């Protein structure tokens, strides 16, 4: 499976020779954890990153090169969020509202991909533009699934906060109403 597990070395090497695999654990720290990549959020971010890169390459090769900025920006943003989620920067930097930023990124990406995909398929006759449009529709679906899941998570969180607030408010209201009826 990925990443490959390091194989134990049966013969310890002399201290004079350096091992080329000694740098591997340092570089492996930059790779996302396997648990994150197997999670739903990790898979969605990988799909968003991959689709955005494929769409960017298709627009570079097509006559609809005016649209290549949007997939490039979405690729870079998805890559940044993939890195931030994999390295758990959202837990370390509490000052930023990560779910809202991720939600807005997904909503705008879905809308932009939908609009430029319709234009690329309808207006430009070459195959690369049509391929970029078709991949853009797939990307629209992936981004829409992602913002739907983010919205549900945020709604659950807000509902839990409201229910705790409502119970204290209801208790205070009941105490006030009991004292008024005397």
Instruction: Judge whether 74 lies within some domain.
Output: yes
Give the model's pLDDT for residue 60: 93
Q: In this predicted structure, what is the pLDDT of residue 69?
A: 92
CA–CA dist 121, 55 (Å, integer): 13
173 in any annotated domain? no
Q: What per-residue confidence (pLDDT) applies to 37?
A: 74
Would you put residue 88 in left (φ > 0), alpha (ψ -120 to 50) or beta? left
pLDDT, tens digit, 9 for 90 and up, residues 122-148: 999 999 999 999 999 999 999 999 999
Please report whether residue 169 resides in a domain. no
pLDDT score, position 54: 95
Number of domain units in the chain: 1
Q: How far is CA 140 from the centre of its chain?
A: 13
d(CA 35, CA 8) in angstroms, rounded, equals 23
Could you tell me if residue 13 is inside a domain? no
The whole-number mean pLDDT for each consecutive block of 10 residues of the chain, a chain of 182 residues, reads 52 54 59 74 90 95 89 93 82 77 92 94 92 95 94 87 62 57 50
Domain-located, residue 28: no
Asked whether residue 64 is assigned to any structural domain, the reply reads yes
Residue 8 lies in a domain: no
Cβ of 133: how many Cβ atoms within 10 Å? 25
Q: Is residue 176 part of a domain?
A: no
Parent domain of 63: 38-91+103-162
pLDDT value of position 159: 87
- Cα–Cα dist 57/25, whole Å: 32
pTM, two decimal places: 0.70
Q: Which residue has the tokens 């409502």?
A: 166
Q: Alpha helices of the chain — where are they, by DSSP H?
A: 24-28, 34-38, 40-61, 69-86, 89-92, 98-123, 127-181
The pLDDT value given to residue 1: 42
Block residue for tokens 């931030």:
84
């Amino acid at each position: 499976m990925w990443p490959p597990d390091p194989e134990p070395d049966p013969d310890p090497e002399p201290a004079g020779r350096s091992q080329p695999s000694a740098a591997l654990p340092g570089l492996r720290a930059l790779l996302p954890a396997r648990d994150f990549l197997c999670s739903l959020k990790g898979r969605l971010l990988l799909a968003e990153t991959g689709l955005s890169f494929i769409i960017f390459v298709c627009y570079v090769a097509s006559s609809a090169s005016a649209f290549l900025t949007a997939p490039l920006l979405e690729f870079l943003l998805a890559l940044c969020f993939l890195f931030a989620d994999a390295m758990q920067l959202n837990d370390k930097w509490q000052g930023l509202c990560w779910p809202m930023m991720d939600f807005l990124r997904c909503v705008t990406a879905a809308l932009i991909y939908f609009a430029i995909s319709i234009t690329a398929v309808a207006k430009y006759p070459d195959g690369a533009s049509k391929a970029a449009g078709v991949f853009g529709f797939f990307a629209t679906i992936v981004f829409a699934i992602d913002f739907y899941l983010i919205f549900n998570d945020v709604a659950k969180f807000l509902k839990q906060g409201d229910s705790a607030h409502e119970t204290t408010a209801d208790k205070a209201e009941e105490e006030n109403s009991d004292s008024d009826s005397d």
